[in-house]
Structure 1
Amino acid sequence: MSAIDYEFDTRPVDDILPEGRVGTGDLESLRPLPRISVHAFCVSQGVQRVMEQCAQDRRMAKVSMRITNGNIAAAASMFSSTPTPNLIILETDATPQTLLQELAPLAEVCDPSSRVIIIGRHNDIALYRELVRNGISEYIVSPVSMAEVMAAVSAIFVDPEAEPLGRTIAFIGAKGGVGSSTIAHNCAFGISSLFATETILADLDLAYGTANIDFDQDPAQGIAEAVFSPERLDEVFLDRLLTTCSQHLSLLAAPSLLDRSYDFDRGAFQPLLELLQRSAPITVLDVPHAWSDWTRAVLAEADEVVLTCAPDLANLRNAKNMLDALKKLRPNDKAPHLLLNQVGMPKRPEIAPQDFFEPLEIEPIAIIPFDAALFGNAANSGRMISEIDAKSPTAETFAQIAHLVTGRATVKKPKRGGLDKVLGLLGRK
């Protein structure tokens, strides 16, 4: 039984999922930017810090960004001898009366295809209209936020009519054997069935993946063909690799063979993940417990990260290290969701849930008790928990997690009494 209280959103799922439209204050609504070059010229430290934050954001992974301490004159001087980038961002403290005059030297050396965003001090609608008439793409009044800058860039380079991008949810364990894959598979099944939403489950553990076993499937092809043949990747090829698990759930299975080594470069999975985002509203990524360049890249670029732990000291240490590392990888995203699994295993010494969460300074989204019979029967029969016992507390917890990671629920602040209740039910009081 979960000790977590949720507030549920009753809107249709299509109203919750990203629609690819720019929201000026909402980073979550922004699409990844294409491969463009950006050069920002900053006068103040505040704007320079904002630009540095933008450069570190996962949505800017493909962007080549350079930041220079200088004004419009410095930009004009630099580009008199070097090609201009796709986008120039200029901070200025010029008055409305002198701004166009300061821009004139830059206009003479700027490539016609380059776009310009100006960050100014004056909230003047007449100035804005005059700048737009003279070819300036956007004028933003300082102080500016990171969301405002990225929304302005997205408005220029991201097609608002483009197909919506799906949401990627990455599941990873703080330690091997904590049940992260089982939780990922059950959540993928729950998302697809509860919301009638097309969902793709991608098993990224090519050597030892269990998604094919958990869904009683034996596909001849899967994720290995996609990763090792990126030049063939398109919607038709992907459709051939997917295996249907239920009406709305498709599986991109791992080969689970040891006939080769699975050493990947950092960007090995990026073409596949981009295609999956265009192919389904939800993609669930079952990420193996490893810490390499490619797993870091996958976790850095996912929309949501779910970290599964078991209540022991090694998990606590690993969870703390992973949360700290993910904060650096994803500085502008919310913290990963934390799950505590296998709580109350007979005869195993455990760290009490409240003692586990306190040093992590993060509240869990679910506490899942150990239930060998329920999980064992599901695994051995190739079925999900909700198929084995739809009325069980564990099935309810998986449904709640599915609501949460798709944005259809929020977690209320857990009450310590609730945790005590769970511990009492588990016979630990």
Structure 2
Amino acid sequence: METPWGSAAQRTPPGSFALCESEETATNVLSARKRSVSDKCFICAKAKRQQQSAQPERKSTSGYGNKRFLESPQHSHILKISSILFLMKKWIMSIGIISLIGALYMLPVALGERHTVEDSPSTTTTEKACEIFIEVEGQQEKIPLETYVTGVVAAEMPVSFKKEALKAQAIAARTYALKSTNYGKIAIAPTVARQVFYNKEQRKANWTSNFPGNEKKIVEAINETKGQVLLYNNELITAMFHSTSNGKTESAHGYSGNDLPYLQSVSSISDQSSPKFSAIKEWTLKEWNALWPVKWHASDFNRVQLFINDSGRVERMQLGKNVWSGREVRTLLQIPSTDFKISYNAATGNVQVSTEGYGHGVGMSQYGAEAMASNGKTAAEILHYYYQDIEIKSIDACLK
């Protein structure tokens, strides 16, 4: 039968087996078909292998144990993620290292700023850093200036005195200490030749049960004059002071022969009310002679000469060819003043020396200061009276 593809013996529809007129023919045809399919499959497989081998081999950018492998789409995705994570890790590590370096670099600055804010020197700290210490002979450690002045005022002036007198004494003592020690660089003796000093234990022993009240009064006077000194031409003065004058203070020239403009003789009549204003001391003639390098006879007391200066004190004493200064006589006889008179009592055979005043008489009289304070004078007024043309200023210890 005619078909569009011709006769059945000549054509078969695509993908179908031809209809055979006999079994043998059919078998032969089937066998041939199988061989054709087999050959075709072999050819297709071979072609596929050739096509795959013709494609260039892509090597992995990542290796494990230096082994290379072909990348499939799944492998490529994994590698991309791994690369991103690796780069992120490096970036994070870099940021961390930079941050650490920055932190270490800024640490000293941060600590410095903290120190500046939290521990910045206050006025008190600065003052402590510049504090002056006084070395007192016999004391184990140096003493802060104001503590030293406390001990001097307690030792040199009766605590019963008015506060203004104590304040005047504090300023004079502070000035004398700084001048004598060159701002704490030289030691000072705690004696009447310099300034008497009592430490806290000595003050407690002297005042016993009155210590708390007395100490409070002294410390207040010190604190109210803290750092104040006496200056002349912007220089510390030699702020000499004494207990009681003979009614008139001694000048620097009268005492030592050296004139100082701020240490002139002034009237101090109120000192006559001092319990230390006058005194009498006696010796037997034998005791008297034991003190002198020459032998005295009863008649010598009538011919001894005393030369008096402008303040009423003995400038020098002469016996024959022997001459002594008033200060030498005072030291030799251990009498309180250079304003003295010598007499001999023939009836008793005793030598008598009478004195007026107590101390060298130069500068501020302590009992005179007390009298002025009792009359309402301030510490400044007291000091300007006994020390002429001076200024009262606060020192800057940090500049010394």
User: Scaled by the length of structure 1, what TM-score is found?
Assistant: 0.19
From the CA coordinates, give the structure whose radius of gyration is larger.
2
Q: Structure 2-normalised TM-score?
A: 0.20
Higher helix share: 2
Q: Which has the higher contact order (CA 8 A, sep 6+)?
A: 1
